[in-house]
Structure 1
Amino acid sequence: MSNEKKKKPCLKEQATYSHGHHQSVVSSHARRTVHDSAAFLAPHIQPTAHILDIGCGPGSITADFAALVPEGRVVGVDAVASVLDQARSLARDRGLANIEFAAVDANALPYPDAAFDVVYCHQVLQHVKDPVGILREMRRVAKPGCGFALASGGEPNAGRVLPAWARRAGFAPADTQVTVTSWCYTGERARQWGDMWAERAVKSGFATMVKEKGLGTEEDLQAVSRAWTEWAKQEDLFFNVPSTEILYRVPPVSANPA
């Protein structure tokens, strides 16, 4: 029986990324690297690996993966096609020929079973309608015996339940490693976060959502923006983002008895 016949139909993504893709949002995504967002994974990557990066955004982590696998291949996918133009531009600027990007719904990945050595997503699961379903899809397209299905979430509530989501998606606890790291910034790097949030509070999709849902007014958002601006002027800045990470090795397929 083919993979297509065995695979259950998946719903399209029903959630909307509330922050949107204003430049204030995308620019912060573009600062992410393998060093700060996938250090838990990097030691396991082989130079021949075939990697899938789900929710790749502007592609900075994806490009770092491509540099780590000169004999392999990296596919970056995102539900929003427009942000992938920036990802492709970055790959061209870095001279990376072993990388490609596609607009894809992670609820129904258009790839066969066991297609990738590494399947990765970062700051995605807290924004989707069915995180458990997406984790199942990640597991499906990862190779048994050598494949890794990985996820990390920077939103505290999602981080607390990530291991439970993974268990519901079929990730055996014995094969699952859970770690927690954090982005910790002071000085100019923290100031950049403050300035970014000051702009995001009034110009991004977050601002639109707050007003449409009656959660706040334009005056409220302006006050939030001013607070971030004032915070960013302080001398003793400290900005910390915790991240829960899952590293999962797909178990090898058991041999059928003779």
Structure 2
Amino acid sequence: MNDEVADQSTRSTVRYSHGHELPVLASHAARTAVNSAAYLLPHLRGGQSILDVGCGPGTITLDLAELVAPGQVVGVENTEAPLAAARENAARRGDSRTRFELADAVALGYPDASFDIVHAHQVLQHLADPVAALREMGRVCRPGGWIAARDADYAAMAWYPDSPHLEQWRTTYRQIAHRNGANPDAGRRLRSWAHQAGITDVQVTSSTWTYADPASCRWWGNGQAARVEAGAFSAQAAELGLTRADVEAIADGWRTWGESPDAWFVILHGELLAQCR
């Protein structure tokens, strides 16, 4: 999603809270089908078609494509920056079958009942109208197919050691997201949104990303520090009244946390799986 894109349901301006700087894309590129879509994998088989909504740099998309080969897989975003990264990742894997295209989450541009699987990872939390997006995902899903969505819940994130700088980061990010018309605590709302979208017989589960060893904590801490210092977060934090020194203190807090021998960080995700009727 672009830093400023037309909200697909109202055509009003919506700002993508994370931005698409290199630190963000690098973090997103660590996502795989195993660590980010395990709840969906038992329902995949060769020959299925998949639409991956909000595919980012395409690492999950390309993993899914391997699992359903020779089925057709399409990843969509509504701005070119992540699509360029996705196409580069596909080329590195020698994947010439998976397509990456521009599309809006609530105006997908595909016929009804086009795909066996319609998947969205960490997407609904960034939309002004996630219910409309779920309806659209249902529209393009074939009867008997699956709608799958996974989203983080910022309010439920937990870490140790305690850090006022990480608390400032979470408070600031949640304010940024709400200011942009998004919902950073989407994970707990997936069931409600599905019901509002008319999706019945939903299966709701949860899973976590856990960082609790020196290498992963250092990677997560340094990566988050780089994201804080990047343009999107720092500019939006400034709009909320934070100074450059405040932003640098948050970034330093992330690095300090990542070097702690006791570091531990858990991100809770809600997961939604529903079979199309």
TM-score (norm 2): 0.83
Deviation at 1:112, TM superposition (A): 0.6
Note the alpha carbon deviations across 1:31-86, whole angstroms, 9 max, x for none: 00000110000110111110000010100000101111112010000112121111
CA contact (8 A) 2:217 2:259 kept: no
Identity in percent: 43
Matching of residue 217 in structure 1 with residue 216 in structure 2:
no
CA contact (8 A) 1:58 1:84 kept: yes
Between the aligned partners of 1:235 and 1:13, the Cα distance in structure 2 is: 46
The residue number in structure 2 matching 1:233 is 259
Matching of residue 164 in structure 1 with residue 192 in structure 2:
yes
For 1:12, the aligned partner's letter is R
Matching of residue 179 in structure 1 with residue 177 in structure 2:
no
Q: Which runs of 5+ in 2 are unaligned?
A: 1-7, 155-184
Q: Tell me which structure has the larger Cα radius of gyration.
A: 1
Between the aligned partners of 1:96 and 1:47, the Cα distance in structure 2 is: 16
Range with bigger deviation, 80-89 or 134-143: 80-89
The residue number in structure 2 matching 1:199 is 226
Deviation at 1:13, TM superposition (A): 6.5
Note the alpha carbon deviations across 1:194-245, whole angstroms, 9 max, x for none: 001111112141111111233x111110110111111111112212111100
For 1:161, the aligned partner's letter is R
Closer/same/farther in 2, CA of residues 13 and 138 from structure 1, 3 Å limit: farther
Note the alpha carbon deviations across 1:110-147, whole angstroms, 9 max, x for none: 00100000000010111111100000000000001x21
Deviation at 1:10, TM superposition (A): 4.2
Between the aligned partners of 1:48 and 1:160, the Cα distance in structure 2 is: 33
CA contact (8 A) 1:14 1:128 kept: no
Deviation at 1:16, TM superposition (A): 1.2
For 2:41, the aligned partner's letter is A
**Secondary structure in structure 1 of the residue aligned to 2:208:** strand
**Secondary structure in structure 2 of the residue aligned to 1:147:** strand
Closer/same/farther in 2, CA of residues 14 and 107 from structure 1, 3 Å limit: farther
CA contact (8 A) 1:138 1:149 kept: yes
**Secondary structure in structure 2 of the residue aligned to 1:108:** coil
Between the aligned partners of 1:32 and 1:165, the Cα distance in structure 2 is: 24
The residue number in structure 1 matching 2:60 is 61
For 1:166, the aligned partner's letter is A
CA RMSD of aligned residues (A): 1.3
Q: How many residues align?
A: 239
Closer/same/farther in 2, CA of residues 204 and 186 from structure 1, 3 Å limit: farther
The residue number in structure 2 matching 1:133 is 132
Between the aligned partners of 1:80 and 1:155, the Cα distance in structure 2 is: 24
Q: Which runs of 5+ in 1 are unaligned?
A: 1-8, 252-258
For 1:54, the aligned partner's letter is V
CA contact (8 A) 1:184 1:240 kept: yes
Between the aligned partners of 2:273 and 2:39, the Cα distance in structure 1 is: 8
